[in-house]
Amino acid sequence: MKNLPALVFLFLGLGFSACSNDALDKNHDSTNDTAASSTETAEEFVARANSELAEQLLEGNAAGWVFSTYITTDTSLLSAKANERYAAWFSGIVKQAAAYDGEELQPATRRAIDLLKLGTSQPAPDNAAKRRELSQIAARLEGDYGAGKYCKEAGDCKTLPELEDVLAESRDYDELLDAWAGWRTVSPPMRKPYERFVELLNEGAAELGYDDLGEMWRSGYDMSPAEFEADTARLWQQVKPLYDELHCHVRARLGEQYGTDKVPQDGPIPAHLLGNMWSQGWSFIYDIMEPYPSVAPLDVDKTLQAKNYTPKEMVRSAENFYVSLGMPQLPETFWERSMFSKPPDRDVVCHASAWNMDGADDVRIKMCIKQTYDELRTIYHELGHNYYQRAYRDQPPIFRDGANGGFHEAIGDTITLSMTPGYLAQVGLIESDAESREAVINRQMMQALDKLAFLPFGKLIDEWRWGVFSGAIAPADYNKSWWELRTKYQGIAAPLPRSESDFDPGAKYHIAANVSYTRYFVAHILQFQFQRALCKAAGFDGELQACSIFQSKEAGTRLQAMLEAGASKPWQDTLETLTGTREMDASAIIDYFQPLMGYLKEQNEGRSCGW
């Protein structure tokens, strides 16, 4: 997973990428600062805000789409101007919404006003000079990250994708160390601007009624910020025993690969050995971790290439899955207006994303599709966004979003869990669905290295920022606190001495771009909970890892009912529609990975686990 900027015009769920939902709110000078009319009721204000928002999104999405699919100086200017107009409108409408603070309102009206105020991850101070300063710092941080290169010497420079390839492919300890440390030479210049960035963001959040930006972010989950923080801690404790078993086994295998002098068997794992620049997903070291190398892997790539699937045919495969659940076919405009391949004559943003251009039927995806199983799973994921967008299209614009930050990402990932060998054989993507126990363990190891390994990382990113925004983590301790959290949750450590002259958090895009990250943690929990509920609705009886809801109208009906609600109700109500419970529950992950858990416990017998 490469976390690149989505470069799309985003607000309240419009424009979703496979790996990041990066809001481009630039907080330019407001030209719409008038107060709400004293004769305008709260209901009338919300109706007007919805109408104006719909118009803002039409222009913004059109400009963003053209820029992403036809990158020129001119389209960049048009997209920036559309964002600037939106930022001005947003600043004004939020100021007007404050007129209704403290009023007793109908629940739907109060919810709409509260969601409207939470519609940016980057609140700007109500001061033209400070808004401009915030915008300039934001552009600098993203620009420094995007243009970052590691130059060993003159003429020998590597970009982030090139350095990521080294982390994924090399098995030379020193080469990995060089690439890991090299990328972290990009972020130290961000440190001082980031300190000021935090001050300005907190000032903007305070003007909206929050103690700091972290509290504002945590307020978007239909519970108090303290309750949400406690809930994420509870979810982590549910999955930690399984993560600890995986960590123990990975550390042992890495010790065999590189030597226990380099990978001590009683401490954290050196961060550069896990196949990913940020150690957030470990799937690229599957060759080291493969439980049963003699078992032939699922070779969907071979089928896609042998049958010469076109990009559109791969997308049709994904559409057929959703249609099998009773959902409608995608509109003809989807096929006419989406970008499925990289055009040969121009620069585009290939990073996969799903768009709803008009809040109704004009849904699209943007990808540069290749004939691989990874790409196919990404397509199934992106269509999850599109089907969610179509399901809640009858909601007012403010409610056209996922029930909480994690729901939108979880839908497509839930569907990919149903891409089992049985399903792949049924639709002709592999020859046989016969799967030995060894093959199950292999497949689950690959999934765990991706999904399970991500969970502690997904949690700690915002936990660090919550501390930074609240002041619990002082600027003088930015790097120290970063590595304390990474060791606490992930059981990894920096492979080289780090100091406060470094700024390792800034080497992660979502820190530089100020994109809230907890939704990815939540999505990784919810997708398994959704899958367990859908499999039950489908009448499946067996191990959860073997369940596919393909062709289950019963599961589709339950899923569609949840999707249609959008953000119109507290997520607890929406979750109950599908699962029958009002709490997020990570026990479904334990259920799903039961076969692997048994294997890991056997492998770890006699080992000293923990760090």
**Per residue in 301-312, pLDDT tens?**
999 999 999 999
- Rounded to an integer, the average pLDDT of 209-222 is 94
Looking at the DSSP assignment, which residues form a beta bridge with residue 414? Answer: none
Considering only CA atoms, give the Rg of the chain: 24
Question: How far is residue 339's CA from residue 334's CA, in Å, rounded to a whole number?
Answer: 9
| DSSP secondary structure letter of residue 475 | G
Helix residue spans in 147-190 (DSSP H): 160-169, 173-183
Would you say residue 25 has pLDDT above 60? no
- pLDDT at residue 4, as a whole number: 30
Q: Which of 70-84, 91-105, 188-202, 582-596 has the lowest mean pLDDT?
A: 70-84
For the stretch 455-494, pLDDT in tens is 999 999 999 999 999 999 999 999 999 999 999 999 999 9
Per-residue model confidence (pLDDT) at position 36:
57
Question: For position 13, what pLDDT does the model report?
Answer: 33
Residue 434: its pLDDT value, please? Answer: 81
Banded model confidence at residue 38, pLDDT cuts 50, 70, 90: low
Residue 160 has pLDDT above 50, yes or no: yes
Q: Which residues carry out catalysis?
A: 351-352, 381-382, 385, 409, 510, 520
Burial zone of 154 (CB within 10 Å; 0-12 exposed, 13-18 middle, 19+ buried): exposed
What was the pLDDT predicted at 7? 28
Give the per-residue pLDDT at 266. 95
- The structure tokens listed for 113 are 């006003």
Return phi, psi of residue 367, to 5°. Answer: -150, 165
The residue among 555, 557, 573, 553 whose CA lies nearest residue 565 is 573
What gap in Å lies between CA 349 and CA 230, rounded to an integer? 38
> Cβ neighbours of residue 584 under 8 Å, at least 6 residues apart?
231, 235, 522, 525, 526, 529, 575
pLDDT at 182 over 70: yes
Percent of the chain with pLDDT over 70: 94
With helix as H, strand as E and coil as C, how does 421-439 read? Answer: HHHHHHCCCCCCCCCCHHH
Helix (H, G, I), strand (E, B) or coil at 556: helix
Residue 29 confidence (pLDDT) above 50: no
Q: Let me know: does 70 contact 346? Beta carbons within 8 Å.
A: yes
End-to-end CA distance of the chain: 27
- In percent, the amount of the chain with pLDDT more than 90 equals 76
Q: What is the pTM of this model?
A: 0.90
Beta bridge partners of 153: 156
Q: How far is CA 452 from the centre of its chain?
A: 14
What count of other Cβ atoms lies within 10 Å of the Cβ of residue 333?
14
Mean per-residue pLDDT for 85-105?
Answer: 87
Torsion sign (Cα): 20, 518, 520, 397: negative
Contact 20, 510 (CB under 8 A): yes
Please name the residues in contact with 326: beta carbons below 8 A apart, sequence gap of 6 or more: 553, 556, 557, 560
pLDDT mean over 164-193: 97
- Residues 30 and 94: their CA atoms lie apart, in Å, by 11
pLDDT band (50, 70, 90) for residue 142: confident
Residue 37 binned pLDDT confidence (cut-offs 50, 70, 90): low
Mean pLDDT, range 224-252, rounded to an integer: 97
Average pLDDT, the chain: 91
**pLDDT tens profile 314-352:** 999 999 999 999 999 999 999 999 999 999 888 887 888
Residue 33: the pLDDT is 46
Q: What is the mean pLDDT of residues 181-186?
A: 97
The mean pLDDT of 102-121, rounded to a whole number, is 91
Note the pLDDT tens digit of each residue in 112-136. 999 998 878 888 888 888 888 988 8
Looking at residue 393, its pLDDT comes to: 96
Q: How confident is the model at residue 21 (pLDDT cuts 50, 70, 90)?
A: very low
388-435 pLDDT, tens digit per residue, is: 999 999 999 999 999 998 999 999 999 999 999 999 999 999 988 788
